[in-house]
Structure formats: structure tokens, C-alpha cells
Structure 1
């Protein structure tokens, strides 16, 4: 039996896959099986032909199947169905080219390094903060008072001057030097009266000083 006849018996195209062949064989085997057609010799013969066709296609080399398909299509080439060419439409004009203008950007200048006076002020403020951490209050007061003379209109200097006075007053309260503590508390209150948080703490310490005075 020729392979082309096998395809015909199984009712499948010549480019069918192995899975297609198996599905077709099972369908025809159930249809022509002798148990289903006991009194039909033609069905029994058909069943044998289906089995033989299935075995030949299954055992055939895949390369042979491809070659056979090529041979069959070479003899009877399929007619190519061409869809009608689309009507020409007005082509969409390409987007206009955007000319990118590259501007040279000068390196930004650090305002701190470019202003020696500003750099000096920031360095001195850092120095005051470090002295407060080390509890060197007397030295911190000397530095911040010198800064207030040099930068009388600087809010940063004013703030840290008030903070320094307040920190020193807290230390004086612990040492029992209530009169001195009261002096520096009033200084802090007068210097930075707009700082609500600081004003609240200073007034609270002033009340504490007054209470301690009455206890003596």
C-alpha cells in the first residue's frame, strides 16, 4: 500500500501530524471494528486496511513523510489564493524631525564655598553645637556672643545664642546657682522671644527657679 493511499483511507490530509493520524485511526477503528460489525465482511476488510494504513504512517520516517508531501504538492501544486491588493491610501507623512538644541550647562557654584563669610559663620555654628555636646558652656557662650556681634541680624546666630544661654542656665540650676540661672534664662527669653518652643521651656524653668527660691 502506498503512503498516499494510507492518507486516503484514514481520511486525513497529506500534511497531517502524527496526532492527527492517531485520532483518525481511533475513529475509524471504532467504526469498522469486527465486534461492532459481526455480520459485515466488508467492515472487517475495511478495519484491516485502516490498521495497515495506520501502521505504515506511524512507522514511516518523518523525513519521508515530508518528502512525500513535497512530491505530491509538486505534482499538484495548490492554488494560491491571493487577497486583492489594498487600495492605495494617502500615506501618513512622517513626523517632523525635532532638532534638539544642546545647551552647555555651566557647573553649579557652591554658594557656601564661594562665600567665605558664610562658610565662617556655618563653621562657628558647628563649633558652638559641638561645645554644647561637650558641656563646655562657658566657651560656647564666648563663641556665640562673639558671633552675635559679627552677625547681629542672623536668625541662626540668634537662635543658637538663646539655646546656649538656656543650656547654661539648666546647668546652673543643677548646681544651685539660682540667681545666675535666672539671669541667663531672661537673656534667652529676650534674645529669641519668637521661638515658641524655647520660650515655653524658658518660662517653665523660670517658674522652677522661683519655686526653689521660696523653698530656701
Structure 2
């Protein structure tokens, strides 16, 4: 899809300002979010499409230096990155492609430390592909990384919420438990 298609997806004319893109995305994301439309598959698909269009347009507006700086900072993160996409025989070709495309977007968002957008993407994907364990792992890792960022920002109670969500999302991931245990210790140290 070209840039013009992304603008159209958000209901904008080509060349709209960053503020217009941001406002249009927020309006559409609220309208089509899976939490607002839990049983409407069309709305969930539309939410993913709108999110992808917004992310593609953000790359146009974001200066290259900022992207490089945030990517190098993300590489210093101690949490493990999501694993590469595994072929799941239980998924249709459409779902497999959606999963692969979403993984690439998720990887980029995590490198750029855009955690709220990464969470929105992975939650939408988890709503669409409910039985895929790998998607659940990505979701848990994204929650954990956002929790760690919140610790660094001093938002400790909010960090606990996301760390708990990570554990509930992927309770059998031992390496995740180790990382989250470290994060909880960091919270305790800050509270002293």
C-alpha cells in the first residue's frame, strides 16, 4: 500500500499534517477498538488496518535521527525481543500473513519504544488470532517492556499493573518470570 492509501484509510487527503493524522487515528481507534466492539470481527480488522496506516504515516513524519536514537536505546533493554514468527498450521494463509506483518510492526514499535502503540497492535492481534501461543508471548513481552519503562518513569503502581498482565498472559514462560521478578525488585528498591 502506498502513502495515499494510508491517508485514505484514515479518511484524510494526501499530505495532511501530522496533527490531522494523529487526530484521525485517535478518532478511528476509539471507534473500532476491540474493547469497544468485542464481538465484531469487521471492527477488529478495521482497527488493525487503521493502526497499520497510522504507523506507516508516522514513519514519514518521524525524523530519521530520532528513529536511530530510540532504536539504539531500545537495544540496551534487558528483556528478550519477541521470537521470529513461527508457521502455525492451525492458521489460515490470511491469518499467517496478518501475524507476520504484525510481527514486523511490533518489532519496529518496540525498537522505537512506542509501547502504547505496540500494546494496541498486539492486543488487536490477540483478539483476532486467539489460539496462537506465540502471539500471547509477544503480548506478555510487550506488557513487560512497558512495565519496565513505567518503572524508569517512576510510575510504579501503573508498572505493577502491566507486569501482572504480562504474567497472566504468559504464565508458563520461565524467562519472563525471571525478568518480571527483577522488575518487581526494582519497584521495591524505589519504594525504600
With normalisation by structure 2, the TM-score equals: 0.51
1:2-17 alignment, distance < 5 Å: none
Partners of 1:120 and 1:151 in 2: how far apart? 9
Structure 2 unpaired stretches of 5+: 1-88
1:180-191 alignment, distance < 5 Å: 180-191=158-169
Partners of 2:177 and 2:104 in 1: how far apart? 23
Aligned: 1:192 with 2:170:
yes
The count of residues paired between Structure 1 and Structure 2 equals 102
1:154-165 alignment, distance < 5 Å: 154-165=132-143
Partners of 1:201 and 1:149 in 2: how far apart? 25
Partner of 2:183: 205
Aligned: 1:136 with 2:114:
yes
Structure 1 SS opposite 2:131: coil
Q: Could you say what the CA RMSD is over the residues aligned between the two structures, in angstroms?
A: 1.5
Structure 1 SS opposite 2:172: coil
1:1-216 alignment, distance < 5 Å: 115-213=93-191, 215=192
Partner of 2:51: none
With a CA cutoff of 8 Å and minimum separation of 6, indicate the structure with the bigger relative contact order.
Answer: 2
CA shift for structure 1 position 178 = 0.3
Q: Is the 8 A contact 2:143 2:166 kept in 1?
A: yes
CA shift for structure 1 position 210 = 2.4
